[in-house]
Chain A
C-alpha cells in the first residue's frame, strides 16, 4: 500500500509540475498576482509530494520489501540498515528520484527564501525550475520507475553491489547532487532574466548565494567521491580522469568561473551577458554529466546497467534544455545592457582572466571526454584518451591561473596597481620558494620542477593569508587598530581567503603525492618484512573472518619504525556471498598528513601472497584542502550581504573601513 501511495504521489507531482510550468509564467506576463502566487505554493507542494514518494521508496528498502523490483535488484535482508537506506540511491531509478528530490528541494527553498524577489522574477524562476522537474518526472515515470512490483515476490534480494556497501554511498551522491542540481537555480535565474529581458546587479546578488551553495556542496561531493574511490577500489589512486569524474568536474570548473563572474556583476555591473551565459553553461554541463552517466555510452565505474531508451530520453532532455537555452540566449542577450568599464589591470581584469582560464580548461576536459565518443559515432574507431592527456593539457593551463590567484584580491576594482601588488607579494613568493624547496629537500628526490610545484602550493596558501593581512593593515597601522579591522572584515573576505588557502593545500598535496609516492609490489610469506617509506611491515599471516553478508581473508601487518612497533593494520579480500563478487579492502594507516596503503593481491601456490604497498606522503592535503574550500564556501554564505533579502548596510563608513588602506 505504501508503495502505491509513493507511486501515486509521483504521478501527482507530475501534474503539479505541469501546472507550475505554465500558470505562474502566464501570471508573470500578465502581471496577475493570483497566478504568480501559485508559484511558491506549488513549489512547496511539489516538494512535499516528491518527498512523500521518496519516503515510500526508502520505507520499502528499510523493511526489505522484495515485491518491489528495484529493492529486489539492489538490496539484501542481511545488509546493515545504513546500507539498506543508502542503497535507495545506489541504483539508477532510486538515484534519479534523489536527483528530482533535490531539484524540487531547491525550488521550494527559492520559494521560501526568495520572498524579497520581485514577484514576476520569482514566478518565472520557479516555472523554469518546474520545466526541468517535469522533464525528469516524465523520465522517471516512463523509463525508470522505481515502484514497479514483482509478482510473486522473491524471498531474498540480489544484494547491493559490494563496492557500494560503504558509508561513502550515504554521503557522496547526496552531496554531489546538491551541488550539480543546485546549479539548476542559477540556470533558472538566467532563463528568467532572458525572458524578462532585464538584468542588473541585484540579479547577481540573488544568484550568488545559490551558486555559492551549489559550488560548496559540489566541492564536498567531488572530494568525498575521490577519497571513497581511493580507499575502496584498492588501486591507491585518487583521481582517474574517468569520464564520469570529469562529468562532475566540468560543472565545478564552470561553477567556479560563475562564482567569480557574478562577483564582478554584483559589484560593478559588468560582464552581465557573460555571466548569464556561464549560468546556462554550468547547468548544461550538469545535464551532460547526467546523460553521460545514465546513458551507458561510457565505460566507467559509475556506469549503471542501462537500456537504450533511457539514453535517448536523457539526450532529448539535454538537447531541449541546452538547445532551448542557447537559442533564447542568442535571441535575447543582445537586449541586455552592458555596463561598468574597467582597465585590464584591475580586480575585474583578474576575474576575467580567471574566467578565461577556467572556461578554456573546462573546454579541454570536455574535448578529452567527448572526443572518443564522437570519433566512435562518426568513424567506428575506438580510442581512449588517458590520464596523460588531461595531466598535460589541464595541468599546463592551470599553472598561470594558480600563479594569478593571490594577485586578484590585492588589486583594486576598476583600475589596479600591479606593481603595488607585486611589492606586497614578493616576500610571500620568496617565503613560498624557501618552504617549497625545504619540503622538497626533506622528502628528498623527484624532479626539481616538483620544488616549484610545492612552492606554488605555499604561494597560494601564504597569498591568501597575505590578503587578509594587508586588508586589515597589519604592519602599517597600530596592532590594536589592525586587529579591530581584521575582526571587522566581512565574512566573504574570510570565505575568499579560506577557499584560496584550501586550493593551495590541495595543490601542495597533489604535487607532493605525485612526486614522492612510492609503490612496492612484493610476494610475502608469513613472518617476512618489507620496508616502505621508512616503515617496516611484518606480515603476520592470513586469517578467515565472516561478516554479515560476506566472508573475508584478512592479512595482518605489524608496522614499525626504527625497530619500534608503531601500529598494525588489517588488509583483506572479501567475497560477497549473494553476488559471489570479490572486493579488496585496503588497509590504510595515517601518519600526520601521509598514509601507508596496503592492499592484498592474489595468493600464490607456495603459500605466499602478493602484497602492494604504497607510501603516500601528504596525500590527506588533497582532501583537506577541499574541506577548507568547503568551509570557505559556508563562511562566505553566512555573510550578511549575501543573505537573500538582507537589507543593505546603511552606514557607508563601515564599508569604507573594509577597503584596504591605499
Chain B
C-alpha cells in the first residue's frame, strides 16, 4: 500500500467507527427515552399501555395504602387529575403524602400506572424539578422555602 492508501484506510476506519457509534446511540435512544407527564397531561395524551413513561406530581393526601409485603399503592395528583399508582419495593426515605414524587413505569390498559421506580426529593427544600415546573404551570405551586420558614 502506498502512504496515501494507508492514510485513506485509517480515515475510513475512523469514520466507520464513528458511524457505528452514531447508529448505536440512535438505537439506544429509541430504546430508553421516557417522556415525562403530569396527571392532567396524561389524561389528554395518547400514551399506549406498555410505553415507558415518567409520571410526576404530588402524592395525594390519604391515598397511600400498604398491601402485602412491600406492595404499596397511592395516587399521584397535580390538583386536577389524579392517577392510581402501584409499586412493589421500598419507598424512598422522603416519600410522604402531599409531597412531590416522580415515578417511572408503564400504564396498564385500565389507565392505572405500575411503577418500577419511585423518586422523591432529596431534602426538605427540594422538589423534583419537573414536578415543580409542572405545578407552577397548573398554578398550585407553593414555594417550599416560604412554606418552611
Q: Which residues in A have some Cβ–Cβ distance to B below 8 Å?
A: 161, 163, 234, 296, 298-299, 301, 303, 305, 343-344, 349, 352, 356-357, 360-361, 363-364, 367-368, 371, 381-390, 392-393, 396-397, 521-523, 573, 579-584, 599, 601-602, 604-605, 610, 612
A386 touches B21 (CB 8 A): no
Residue in contact with A523 in the complex, picked from B36, B69, B133, CB distance below 8 Å: B69
A610 touches B94 (CB 8 A): no
Assembly CA distance A298 to B13 (angstroms): 37
Separation in Å of the A437 CB from the closest CB of chain B?
Answer: 27
Separation in Å of the A471 CB from the closest CB of chain B?
Answer: 27
Name the residue on A nearest B128 (C-beta).
A299
Q: Told that A356-B17, A581-B94 touch, could you supply 16 new A-B pairs with CB distance under 8 A?
A: A299-B102, A299-B128, A344-B9, A344-B10, A349-B10, A360-B18, A364-B21, A382-B130, A383-B36, A386-B33, A389-B32, A392-B27, A393-B25, A523-B70, A581-B124, A610-B70
Assembly CA distance A384 to B14 (angstroms): 30
Assembly CA distance A397 to B17 (angstroms): 9
Contacts of B123 in A (CB 8 A): 161, 163, 579, 581
Separation in Å of the A440 CB from the closest CB of chain B?
Answer: 26
Interface CB pairs A-B, < 8 A, 15 = A296-B129, A298-B129, A344-B9, A356-B14, A360-B17, A360-B18, A382-B54, A385-B29, A386-B33, A392-B27, A397-B24, A521-B90, A523-B69, A573-B93, A581-B124
Q: Which of B1-46 contact A (CB under 8 A)?
A: 6, 9-10, 13-14, 17-18, 21, 24-25, 27-29, 31-36
Q: Which residues in B have some Cβ–Cβ distance to A below 8 Å?
A: 6, 9-10, 13-14, 17-18, 21, 24-25, 27-29, 31-36, 54, 66, 69-70, 88-91, 93-94, 102, 104, 122-126, 128-130, 133
Contacts of B94 in A (CB 8 A): 581-582
Name the residue on A nearest B31 (C-beta).
A388
Assembly CA distance A167 to B122 (angstroms): 19
Separation in Å of the A397 CB from the closest CB of chain B?
Answer: 6
Contacts of A522 in B (CB 8 A): 69
B122 touches A389 (CB 8 A): no
B69 touches A521 (CB 8 A): yes
A392 touches B31 (CB 8 A): yes
A344-B9, A382-B130, A385-B29 known; A605+B14 contact, CB < 8 A = no
Contacts of B10 in A (CB 8 A): 344, 349, 352
B126 touches A385 (CB 8 A): no
Contacts of B14 in A (CB 8 A): 356
Contacts of A301 in B (CB 8 A): 122
Contacts of A364 in B (CB 8 A): 21, 24-25
A384 touches B129 (CB 8 A): no
Residue in contact with A389 in the complex, picked from B17, B21, B31, B102, CB distance below 8 Å: B31
Contacts of B126 in A (CB 8 A): 303, 305
Assembly CA distance A349 to B14 (angstroms): 12
Residue in contact with A521 in the complex, picked from B24, B25, B35, B70, CB distance below 8 Å: B70
Assembly CA distance A389 to B52 (angstroms): 13
Assembly CA distance A344 to B88 (angstroms): 54
Residue in contact with A385 in the complex, picked from B21, B32, B89, B93, CB distance below 8 Å: B32
Assembly CA distance A390 to B69 (angstroms): 33
A386 touches B32 (CB 8 A): yes
A388 touches B28 (CB 8 A): yes
Assembly CA distance A111 to B64 (angstroms): 62
Name the residue on A nearest B34 (C-beta).
A384
Contacts of B6 in A (CB 8 A): 343-344
Assembly CA distance A400 to B17 (angstroms): 10
Separation in Å of the A260 CB from the closest CB of chain B?
Answer: 16
In the complex, the 6 A-B pairs of residues with the closest C-beta atoms, listed nearest first: A382-B36, A601-B90, A388-B32, A389-B32, A392-B28, A393-B28
Name the residue on A nearest B68 (C-beta).
A523
Contacts of A605 in B (CB 8 A): 66
Contacts of A396 in B (CB 8 A): 24
A305-B126, A521-B70 known; A385+B36 contact, CB < 8 A = no
Name the residue on B nearest A298 (C-beta).
B129
Assembly CA distance A356 to B94 (angstroms): 43
